[in-house]
Amino acid sequence: YVVKESRHSYDYVVKLLRRLQKNRHIKVLVADDSGTTRRFIKGLLQQHLYQVLEAKDGKEALKVLAQHPDVSILITDYAMPEMDGFELVKQVRTEKDKHELVIIGLSSTESGALSAKFIKNGANDFLRKPFFHEEFHCRLMHNLEEMELIQAIQDAANRDYLTQLYNRRYFFTTGGKHHEQAVAKGQQLALAMLDIDHFKQLNDNYGHEAGDEVLRQLASKMTQAFPRFICARMGGEEFCIMMPGLNNDQANQLLEGFRLMVAQQPFMYGDTELQVTFSAGVTNQLSSCLDNMYQGVDEYLYRAKEAGRNFVIT
Ligand code: GH3
Ligand code: MG
Ligand code: MG
Ligand code: MG
């Protein structure tokens, strides 16, 4: 296809090939009551290797979106029975914003008011049928690239550069929402605070680079041990793990297991084996806000240090 469209510039072809690699993993949902239109759009999308799902009206589209939360693009017709394109866009936007799901409105109606209404309701873009195939692909790519860029920027803003764990900002914003929800619904939520023991000595003995490597390795062990939970680097050699749904005993057991694993498996810095331990505090006392809960668990961490380090105190 790319070769056939030989009027493309070299740069564009390179860009398109990169895009096609990514498209294999991108799901597009096409909502249109006309089977002919759906098949036609599906054909265009498959030319660019997208995975395509179909829905014959707004209601069915909502069902498909619920079954496939990883859909990245929704292309929707305006006039459909059961639920039209505007209502579909409105409903979808209560759950997912423009940077989580690209929505492109479609209609054969001439009126420019329709495109304005689609966009006011939350669509990212609009195309009038019949459209020029290349315009379809260009707009799709443009919207997708914009979404991917914003997601990359958001992710970078939420993560710590050295360890790639979540940062303090993410912990208090997204973690704060989990905390609020647990308080409102009377659900369990446990919080652990970890701090590496004698980390200053490790830096002094082996160098700052070795210290950095220990931070990276501990972070990697942490995400492997707690894949479902929010692991954050709060600063320096201090970390938090937020565990929604866990009571104190469950959280304590997990942390105790992790403490043993870390203490027993030496860290590697080149050929040098490094012995690393941490101390931790654990609590499930929610307090009034996450800040207070954080201060509470800090107190347990302090006691773990006082008790001689390499301890979990709850
Ligand atoms: P304790 O057992 O009481 O926690 O002792 P400690 O030495 O771990 O604690 P202290 O707070 O005295 O020292 C923390 C050290 O962590 C000091 C600082 O140089 C080091 N540190 C903080 N951030 C980084 C980092 O990003 N990389 C490295 N290599 N070291 C860091
Ligand atoms: Mg229609
Ligand atoms: Mg320390
Ligand atoms: Mg510290």
What is the Å distance from ligand 1's center to 204 Cα?
10
Q: Is 309 in the pocket of ligand 1 (CB under 6 A)?
A: yes
pTM for the full model?
Answer: 0.83
- In this prediction, residues 205-223 reach a mean pLDDT of 98
- Best probe residue, ligand 1, of 209, 217, 237 (max atoms within 8 Å of C-beta): 237
Residue ranges with CB less than 5 Å from ion ligand 2: 33, 77, 79
Share of the chain above pLDDT 70, in %: 98
Scanning the structure block, which residue is given the tokens 């905390």? 179
27-31, strands of its sheet edge to edge: 51-55, 27-31, 71-77, 102-107, 125-128
pLDDT value of residue 15: 84
Name the residue with the closest Cα to ligand 1, atom 23.
Answer: 236
pLDDT > 90? residue 146: yes
The residue length of the chain stands at: 314
Q: Is 305 in the pocket of ligand 1 (CB under 6 A)?
A: yes
* Residue 117 DSSP class: H
- Ligand 1 atom with the smallest distance to the CA of 214 is 29
Handedness of CA 241, 245, 249, 250 (dihedral sign): negative
Give the separation between CA 85 and CA 104, rounded to whole angstroms. 10
pLDDT > 70? residue 1: no
What is the Å distance from ligand 1's center to 283 Cα?
24
Least Cα distance to 101 among 31, 28, 24, 16 occurs for: 28
Q: Is 196 in the pocket of ligand 1 (CB under 6 A)?
A: yes
pLDDT > 60? residue 3: no
What is the Å distance from ligand 3's center to 304 Cα?
11
pLDDT > 90? residue 120: yes
Summarised one tens digit per residue, pLDDT across range 279-311 is 999 999 999 999 999 999 999 999 999 999 999
What is the Å distance from ligand 4's center to 239 Cα?
9
pLDDT value of residue 217: 98
pLDDT > 60? residue 12: yes
Q: Is 133 in the pocket of ligand 1 (CB under 6 A)?
A: no
Q: Is 219 in the pocket of ligand 1 (CB under 6 A)?
A: no
Instruction: Name the phi and psi angles at 287, rounded to 5.
Output: 60, -170
- In this prediction, residues 50-54 reach a mean pLDDT of 98
pLDDT: is 11 or 74 the higher one?
74
pLDDT > 70? residue 164: yes
Least Cα distance to 197 among 211, 209, 208, 207 occurs for: 211
pLDDT > 70? residue 37: yes
What is the Å distance from ligand 2's center to 284 Cα?
53
- Ligand 1 atom with the smallest distance to the CA of 200 is 7
Residue spans of beta strands (DSSP E) within the chain: 27-31, 51-55, 71-77, 102-107, 125-128, 189-196, 230-235, 238-244, 267-269, 272-274, 278-283, 312-313
pLDDT value of residue 5: 60
pLDDT value of residue 92: 97
- pLDDT-based confidence at residue 6 (cuts at 50, 70, 90): low
Q: Is 216 in the pocket of ligand 1 (CB under 6 A)?
A: no
| Residues belonging to the active site | 237
